[in-house]
Structure 1
C-alpha cells in the first residue's frame, strides 16, 4: 500500500475479518457470543451465562470464561488482516459469574510489532464487576487473511 491506510479502511478490514472468522467458529456461536464492536487491535463482545455454562458449584465455569476471552483475543489480534495465533495466555479469575449474568469481554491491543502482538482482555458483569483478566501474546504469521 503506497499511502497510509485510513482509519475507516482499517475498521472495515477488522469487520470483514470478524465476519470470516465467526462464519466458521461453531464454538463461539455455541457460547452465544455477540460481537458489539471490532477495530484494529480491538474487540468488545458479550454473552449471557446459561445453565449449561455453570460448574458443580453453580458458578460460571472457568473454561467458559477462558473461551470467551480467547475468542475476543482472536478477533482483536487477527483484525489487522494477518493470521495470528496465540503463543501464550494467562488468566486471573477474580469473581464468579452467575446464572443470568451478562458478561462483557473487551480486548485491547497493548503492543504490536512485526511478528508479535500483546493483548489485555477484561471480563466484567452487568454491574461493572471485574470477573477476570486475560493476557495474550500472539504470533503474527505472514499469511494474509483477506
Structure 2
C-alpha cells in the first residue's frame, strides 16, 4: 500500500517504522514543512497536518495486511507548525472490534517534542472481493 501512495510520497512523508503485534498496529512517520505547505499566516496549513496524520493512520490500520479504510476521523490542532519544522507522527491502534478499529495519531515537532495535533481515526476492514 505505501509503495503505491503517491499523495504521501508527493508530500515527502517518510516511513520511519511500521509494526503489527499480531493484533494491533503501530507506525511512525516524518515530514518536513515546506514552502508550499504554509498558509497566509506563514504557518502550516491544517489540511497538510491532517493529511500527514491520515497517512500515518492508514499505515497503522493496514499493518496487519487486511485491506482497511477510514470510516471517520477527528483532529484537534494544539499548536502551529512553521516553515522548516520537521514533524513526527506516531500512530497506535487502540482496539479492533469485528471489522472496526480505533487509532490515535499524535503529531509532534521534532527536536522539542511539542504536540502539534491529535488525530483519532475510526477504521473499517473491507470484506475480500470474490474472485472473478
TM value normalised by structure 2? 0.91
Counterpart of 1:140 in structure 2 is 125
Q: Contact conserved, 1:39 with 1:79, CA < 8 A, in 2?
A: yes
Indicate conservation of the 8 Å contact 1:85/1:138, yes or no: yes
Runs of 5+ consecutive residues of structure 2 not aligned to the other structure = none
Superposed CA deviations along residues 109-136 of structure 1, whole A, max 9, x for unmatched, are 1001221110000000021000000000
| Superposed displacement of residue 25, structure 1 | 1.1
Shift >4 Å, 4+ stretches: none
Q: How many residues align?
A: 124
1 or 2, which has the higher helix percentage?
1
Q: What are the equivalent positions in structure 2 for 1:87-126 lying under 5 Å apart? A: 87-126=71-110
Aligned position for 1:130: 115
Counterpart residue number, 1:23: 3
Of 15, 28, 31, which residue of structure 2 is paired with 1:44?
28
Aligned partner of residue 39 in structure 2, secondary structure: coil
TM-score, structure 1 normalization: 0.82
1:65 to 2:45 alignment: no
- Please point out which of 14, 37, 55 is paired with 1:53: 37
Taking only aligned residues, the RMSD between alpha carbons, in angstroms, comes to 1.1
Q: Flag structure 1 segments of 5+ consecutive residues without an equivalent.
A: 1-20
